[in-house]
Amino acid sequence: MPLVRENATPLYRQIAMQLRQDIAEGLFERTGKLPSEAELRERFSVSRVTVRQALTVLVESGLVEQRKGKGTYLIGRDVRYELDTLRSFHESLCLQGFDARMRLLRFEIRTPPGPIGAILGHGGACLFLERLHLIGEEPIAVGRSFLPAQFADIPRAEADRTPTYVLFNRFFGQSLDRVHLTLGAQAADDELACLLKISDTTALLRMERVSFFTNNTPAECSVFFIRPERYRFTLNSHFVAE
């Protein structure tokens, strides 16, 4: 609907009403991000001040939030990870309709730290993968995984675009049977803060994952460092009466 410039209702309130309608109809990105201020100025042919007034109305109504340097996002568009489902981190983002991407940062043979070597059952060399997980261009998590050394035979390009669980089926021909997850929190160090574009004082969600083959052999050990805003872990449980 075009703006009615000769109207008792201020332009910024007309814009706010149209944006509310767009939100209700699900016209914006699946990530929950609204168009930029520049895009809104062009769409409505108004000044930056008018656009900001309109967005302020939506913020004050609790419908959106503005993130410094990131843009304006719908409130309530959470990223969820279902703890009771055997699913890769990347796949869980894709299935929620997000523009999920992975960027391979490290692909190298490395001896795992003692605790991880103990979990995997050996202290020998493993393939180490470090990936940056993004939604669109927004970094959301860093994943660090230790896999069997024979995975080093796969092309680096495959590791760049293929989730770990898919790699097991494609190159090992083995299926995973179960996973053990441990959740906690950890302050971001300088490296994580740089990768995730956050302050080095930010508390991150930490998810440790150990996956097992059907013969109960550990398949991989991963740690994910996750930006906590908009991220939720969910669990569905069924109780049996005794």
Q: Is residue 241 scored above 70 in pLDDT? A: no
Asked if 60 and 148 sit in the same domain, the reply is no
Q: Is residue 240 scored above 70 in pLDDT? A: no
Q: How many domains does the chain have?
A: 2
Asked if 16 and 130 sit in the same domain, the reply is no
CATH number at residue 70: 1.10.10.10
Domain assignment present for residue 38? The answer is yes
CATH number at residue 100: 3.40.1410.10
Asked if 15 and 108 sit in the same domain, the reply is no
Structural domain of 53: 11-74
Per-residue buried b or exposed e for 73-85, using 16+ beta carbons within 10 Å of the residue's own CB: bbeebebebeeee
Structure tokens at 238: 């069924």
45-49, 58-62, 96-100, 108-112: range with lowest mean pLDDT: 96-100
pLDDT in tens, 95-138: 776 778 899 999 999 998 888 888 887 767 899 999 999 987 78
Asked if 38 and 123 sit in the same domain, the reply is no
Question: What beta strand segments (E) does 28-115 contain?
Answer: 64-67, 71-74, 79-82, 100-110
pLDDT in tens, 200-239: 888 999 999 999 988 888 889 999 999 887 677 877 665 5
- Strand pairing category for 218-226 and 203-213: antiparallel
Asked if 41 and 94 sit in the same domain, the reply is no
Asked if 65 and 126 sit in the same domain, the reply is no
Query: What pLDDT is attached to residue 54?
Result: 94
Query: What pLDDT is attached to residue 148?
Result: 83
